């Protein structure tokens, strides 16, 4: 792919068109296939038929949730990879999503918090705490916070937090069964209301993350050089952490912990447009929801009359990529 400004912009436009196509596919595909006209009727000329209701109350919110969660996770992953200069950084792998999920389940199950606007704060708090713990644990010992050590610390913490989440959901089967999806992410629990409530948080996170491009580029040169070039490293770190909290926290509050999207997509973006974060970030923003929605469509079709949760599909696609990345020798070279 050409690396000129025009080439990258044109490529991004193509990616946007592909995303639109996938959005349409997500509205049409599933247990029953619908036509574009059905979607139009459900949106503009609602008659209350089963088809209208399935599209309006199941496929619209689910697709919107996929768009938002995908964009959020892709951007969060790109920001995390940039700020930690760690190719294995991903809100799923580094325990951020697991922390958010546990905080949400605790808020719902133990404190009785009901709406997303109520528990999204817990999700962000849980995300932040998990991030700090993983970073502290991963920094112990020789060599500091190497990528693999951070990933291991993240995996260990994710397992720990995930088992606590399971324990809480199992304590009270009758009321908490519906929150089992906090163990593996899914787009099916999102309703129109939840998506609307999540939108402002994710929009704020997207805006914040997109402003970090140049700073991340300078950080990529090394902290000393970045400081010489005038980057306020402390401020950039705080802003990046804030963006990740908003993005990964809200995405998890809406769709549960979905792993690997935030890992894989920035790498694909990097392969397409090079190491410039001013391009990696918007490309991740567009590619990640494309991938997530495709994974969700696959999950709907492969196990009919049941569905596979989207978190299972992303793990199936993402895990081999993760292994390939770990096995690459020059791991620390972001």
Closer to other proteins by CB, 259 or 273: give it.
259
Closer to other proteins by CB, 150 or 187: give it.
187
Beta carbons within 10 angstroms of residue 313's beta carbon:
25
In angstroms, give the least distance from the CB of 209 to other proteins: 28
Q: What ranges in 140-232 are assigned the alpha helix state H?
A: 147-171, 173-176, 192-210, 213-219, 223-228
Closer to other proteins by CB, 133 or 301: give it.
301
In angstroms, give the least distance from the CB of 56 to other proteins: 8
Q: Can you tell me which residue has the tokens 């193509």?
A: 14
In angstroms, give the least distance from the CB of 49 to other proteins: 6
Closer to other proteins by CB, 56 or 278: give it.
56
In angstroms, give the least distance from the CB of 203 to other proteins: 25
Q: How far apart are CA 77 and CA 99, in angstroms?
A: 16
Nearest residue to 116 (alpha-carbon basis) of 59, 177, 197, 49: 197
- In this structure, the dihedral spanned by the alpha carbons of residues 102, 105, 106 and 109, taken in order and rounded to 10 degrees, is -160
Q: How far apart are CA 23 and CA 63, in angstroms?
A: 7
Closer to other proteins by CB, 64 or 153: give it.
64
Closer to other proteins by CB, 102 or 239: give it.
102
- Per CB under 8 A, residues contacting other proteins are 30-32, 48-50, 53-54, 56-58, 173-174, 177-178, 180-181, 183-184, 186-189, 256, 300, 304-307, 309
In angstroms, give the least distance from the CB of 23 to other proteins: 18
> Which residues are within 8 A (CB) of 124 and not within 5 positions of it... i.e. 6 or more apart?
100, 245, 246, 249, 250
In angstroms, give the least distance from the CB of 112 to other proteins: 14
- Whole-number Cα distances in Å, 155 to 109, 132, 198, 229: 24, 14, 27, 35
In angstroms, give the least distance from the CB of 58 to other proteins: 5
Closer to other proteins by CB, 25 or 203: give it.
25
Q: What is the DSSP string of 125-147?
A: HHHHHHHHHHHHHHHSSTTSS-H
């Amino acid at each position: 792919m050409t690396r000129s400004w025009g080439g990258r912009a044109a490529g991004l436009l193509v990616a946007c068109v592909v995303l639109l196509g996938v959005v349409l596919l997500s509205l049409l595909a599933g247990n029953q296939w619908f036509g574009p006209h059905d979607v139009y009727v459900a949106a503009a000329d609602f008659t209350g038929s089963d088809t209208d209701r399935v599209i309006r109350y199941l496929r619209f919110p689910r697709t919107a949730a996929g768009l938002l969660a995908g964009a959020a996770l892709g951007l969060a992953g790109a920001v995390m990879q940039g700020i930690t200069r760690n190719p294995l950084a991903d809100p799923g792998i580094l325990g951020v999503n697991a922390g958010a999920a546990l905080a949400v389940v605790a808020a719902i199950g133990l404190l009785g918090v009901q709406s997303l606007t109520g528990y999204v704060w817990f999700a962000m708090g849980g995300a932040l705490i998990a991030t700090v713990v993983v970073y502290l644990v991963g920094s112990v010992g020789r060599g500091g916070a190497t990528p693999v050590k951070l990933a291991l610390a993240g995996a260990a913490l994710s397992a720990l937090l995930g088992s606590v989440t399971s324990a809480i959901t199992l304590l009270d089967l009758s009321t908490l069964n519906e929150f089992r999806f906090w163990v593996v992410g899914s787009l099916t629990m999102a309703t129109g209301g939840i998506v609307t409530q999540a939108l402002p948080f994710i929009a704020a996170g997207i805006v914040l993350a997109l402003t970090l491009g140049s700073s991340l580029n300078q950080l990529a040169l090394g902290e000393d050089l970045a400081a010489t070039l005038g980057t306020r490293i402390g401020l950039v770190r705080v802003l990046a952490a804030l963006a990740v909290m908003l993005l990964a926290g809200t995405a998890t509050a809406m769709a549960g912990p979905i792993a690997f999207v935030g890992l894989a997509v920035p790498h694909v973006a990097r392969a397409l447009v090079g190491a410039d974060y001013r391009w990696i970030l918007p490309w991740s923003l567009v590619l990640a929801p494309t991938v997530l929605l495709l994974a969700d469509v696959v999950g709907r079709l492969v196990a009919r009359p049941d569905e596979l949760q989207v978190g299972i599909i992303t793990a199936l696609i993402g895990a081999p990529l993760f292994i390939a990345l770990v096995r690459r020798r020059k791991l620390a070279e972001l």
